[in-house]
Structure 1
Amino acid sequence: MSLASWYLIVRKLLHAIAVGRGARRFLREFWAAPSLDVAAASLGKVPAEDPFSALAAHAVRAAKHHAEHGATRLDEAGSAHEFLTRAMRSEIAAQTMRAESGLAVLASVGATSPFVGLFGTVWGVYNALVNIGMTGQGTLDKVAGPVGESLIMTALGLAVAIPAVLAYNGFARRNRLVGAELDAFAHDLFALLTTGAPLKSGGR
């Protein structure tokens, strides 16, 4: 469990750093573009892991598709605004699910590791009592070994659980912040695609 949790922590941390840098660079270049056509042409140059560029590319494709072909299927029914709204909501949901991948493992490790350590503690105490029962002596040398092993198991369980819980809370908080920024960007992008006038309400 420890190796799995630390692997996830390191992988998600490196991914979060890379995505954060790419997102800031993309937003800066996107809103600095002289026109939507220029901004749309640069979307393919941004890494696919960036949720903001992925949302922008998906929204631009959806708006272009509906403008050129209209509603040809049931999932394309409605006005251009409704179709674009559904497309952007779908992409935001996909990005949210991608960001939350692996968090269930960290939550499970953080919740179960202390109990695994507790089981080791109970087992160590049981061995100590067995030794006392077999020898009839409750001396320190008969008890210290099993009790020491049980305490080590408890410490190992906590050592696995604490980093997993802290990492889970940190990643969950980051996902909430990125989700709020993504919603704000979606609002601005929707205004840009439907009216041609960006709101840029997020202070970018």
Structure 2
Amino acid sequence: MSFNQNLSHFLAQSDGVGLALFFLLLTMSVASWYFIVVKAWQGWQARSRSRLFLSLFWNAESLDDVAKTLQQHRDEEPFSHLTYHAINASRHHALHGVKRLQEAGSASEFLTRAIRRVIDEETAKLEWGLTALASIASTAPFVGLFGTVWGVYHALLGIGQNGQGSLEQIAGPVGEALIMTGLGLAVAIPAVLAYNDCVRSNRVLLSQLDAFAHDLFAFLTTGSAINAQINSIVHSDKLAMSAAGGE
């Protein structure tokens, strides 16, 4: 018998509960693969766009050049999103100071809150769909097992009513009932693997984002002071060289 014939025979032998469990597993499988494909696509896009932005950021001459680029074009990926809001928060506090409770504290505290808020937003975006994958991975085997138990129960009821229990009569109904266990595992295994891969990828990306946030915070809070100190040293050296030349 072909697969379609076996499936048709299985559905014909099932009652309402068995059919409900079968279509529940089918729905869970479709949802699982939807999240797997979408998360894989989003992860690939985020990684490729992040590499491009980080290359642009570290090769820029100043944060002003980065800000101008972000004003003209900004991809919806974590690093450019964080940089855009951090630069705007730093400029906003420098221009307007403390006028509202939201702006309370020093410039560094206000910038820290802005960076933390963006990181929390990116974390929530990365975790989208993971709850569904985890729920499917943990419940699908039990749904399949319940379908198997229900099918075996009905097979035993049929054998009891007929008063005969030969191997030929038991093998068919029990084998069809075990299909539900296989379906449950077929739904759960891809969901488990995808969930673990997404969690690992998110952990790596958030670690990189956190490290980048520390560098960005240092640039925004101490960059101007460092530049001023360098200019002062250069100016002093020029004066010293001029004085030596005059002598």
TM > 0.5: yes
Q: Is 1:46 equivalent to 2:71 in the alignment?
A: no
The structure 1 segments of at least 4 consecutive aligned residues displaced by more than 2 Å after TM superposition are none
Aligned equivalent of 2:195, options 161, 164, 168:
168
* Residue 6 of structure 1, CA deviation: 0.2
Aligned equivalent of 1:130, options 140, 157, 160:
157
For residues 177 and 96 of structure 2, what CA distance do their matches in structure 1 show? 69
Q: Is 1:106 equivalent to 2:130 in the alignment?
A: no
Secondary structure of the 1:78 match is coil
Aligned to 1:202: none
- Offset from partner CA, 1:47-87 (integer Å, 9 cap, x none): 11x10100000101100100100111111100000000011
Aligned to 1:156: 183
**Identical aligned residues as a percent:** 60
Equivalenced residue count is 196
- Look at both structures and tell me which one has the larger radius of gyration over its CA atoms: 2
Aligned to 2:233: none
Residues 33-112 of structure 1 aligned to structure 2 (within 5 Å): 33-44=60-71, 45-48=73-76, 50-112=77-139
Decide whether the 8 Å contact of 1:66 with 1:80 is kept in 2: yes
* Residue 141 of structure 1, CA deviation: 2.5
**What is the TM-score when the length of structure 2 is the normalising length?**
0.78
For residues 40 and 88 of structure 2, what CA distance do their matches in structure 1 show? 31
Name structure 1 gaps, 5 residues minimum: 198-204
Aligned to 1:183: 210
Indicate the structure with greater helix content.
Answer: 2
Name structure 2 gaps, 5 residues minimum: 1-27, 225-247
Q: Is 1:14 equivalent to 2:41 in the alignment?
A: yes
- Offset from partner CA, 1:152-173 (integer Å, 9 cap, x none): 1100000000100110111011
Aligned to 1:120: 147
Decide whether the 8 Å contact of 1:131 with 1:142 is kept in 2: no
Decide whether the 8 Å contact of 1:125 with 1:146 is kept in 2: yes
Counterpart AA for 1:46: R
For residues 61 and 46 of structure 1, what CA distance do their matches in structure 2 show? 14
